Amino acid sequence: MSDKLKNKLKFTEVQNQIDNLKNIDHEFGNIKDKAFDIDAHKAKVQAAGVTVKDKLLTNLKGSLAIALLGILAQILFPWWTIAIVGAWVGYWFADTPSRSFLYGFISMFLVWSIYAGYQSAANEGIVANAISGLLGGKVSGTQLIYVTGLIGGLVTGLATMTGTQLRSVLNK
């Protein structure tokens, strides 16, 4: 290795170190600036998906919102309003699109299948068996409860994902 080359390397190294120091100083300044706004900082961290706990909290809140608003909407309005509820909740409780889909899906899957199962139990499964017979016996009365959950879950999950994506489009 020639001296000239050694010198050049040394220079680059020093130069890098100086750059690093500059960066640290810059970031420190930034943190100092932002440190006054703790809530905003937390929000930023949440949005970036920093802690698992926070993410779960968002999903849980979203799920609950979908369940409660969804039930209310379906008592007052036609069933498809669950899509509007899903999109709205997905916008305000945004996670990654796939996670939003998942919590939307699970939430309405549970609402529809539990409510269907509850009504079916009170009726000793008579109506479920009738529908099962109508479908040629290919789906059992119990399986119909899961099919029901699947339909509600799919619509809501897709809607929640769409809401989340709308948010990321608008926040760009």
Partner 1 sequence: MKLTKFLLSLIATIGLTWFLNTSQNVKGAPIPALGSLFSPFQGYWRNGKSLTDKPSDEMAQGIKNNVKVVYDDRQVPHIFAENVEDALFVQGFLHAQNRLWEMDFITRAAGGRLSEVLGDRPIRLGLSTIDVDKIQRRRGLIPGAEKTVKEWQADPETWALVTAYCMGANAYIAKLDPRDYPLEYKIFGVKPEQWTPLHMSLLATYMALDLALGESDVQATNAKALFGNDFDFIYPEYFPEQQPVVPVGTNFGTAPAEKDATSTIMSDKITPLSMIDFPSIHEDLQPDASNGSNNWVVGPSKTKNKNPILCGDPHLSLKMPSIWYEIQISTPDMNVYGVSLPGLPAVIIGFNDNIAWTQTNVGQDVADWYSMKWLNPNRTEYQYDGTTRKVDLRVEDILVKGVGIIKDTVKYTVWGPVVFDNDTMPNANMAFHWLANDVSKSSIKTFVQLNKAKNYDEYAKALEGFNVPAQNFAFACKNGDIALHLGGTFPKKAKGQGRFVQDGSNSANAWKGFIPKSMNPHYKNPARGFVSSANQHSTDPSYPYYFNSENFDTYRGRIVNQKLSKMDTITIEAMKKMQNDNFSLMAQEALPIMLNLLDTAALSTDMKQIVSELSKWDYYYEANKSAPIYFEEWFKFFYDEVWDEILSRTDKSRILKPTTWRTIAILRGDANNKFFDKIASSDKKETAKDLLITSFKSMMAEIPKIQAEISKNYPKTPQLIWANYKDTEIPHISNMPGLGRSHIANGGYGKAINAIKKNHGPSWRMIVEMTPERPRAFVVYPGGQSGNPGSKYYDQFVDSWSKGNYYEAIFMRKADEKLPTLTLTQEFKKVQ
What residues make contact with partner 1 under the rule CB under 8 A? 74-75, 78-80, 83, 86-87, 97, 112, 115-116, 119-120, 122-128, 130-137, 147-148, 151-152, 154-155, 158-159, 161-162, 165-166, 168-169, 172
Helices first, then strands: H and E counts in the chain: 7, 0
Q: How far is the CB of 127 from partner 1 (least distance, A)?
A: 3
C-beta of 1 vs 170, nearer to partner 1:
170
C-beta of 38 vs 136, nearer to partner 1:
136
Q: Are 35 and 76 in contact (CB under 8 A)?
A: no
Q: How far is the CB of 50 from partner 1 (least distance, A)?
A: 21
Q: How many Å apart are CA 108 and CA 121, to the nearest integer? A: 19
Residue among 120, 102, 101, 108 nearest 149 (CA) = 108
Q: How far is the CB of 58 from partner 1 (least distance, A)?
A: 19
Residue type, 100: S
Q: How many Å apart are CA 25 and CA 150, to the nearest integer? A: 54
C-beta of 4 vs 138, nearer to partner 1:
138
C-beta of 59 vs 101, nearer to partner 1:
101
List, in order, residues 6 or more apart from 165 with CB less than 8 Å away: 97
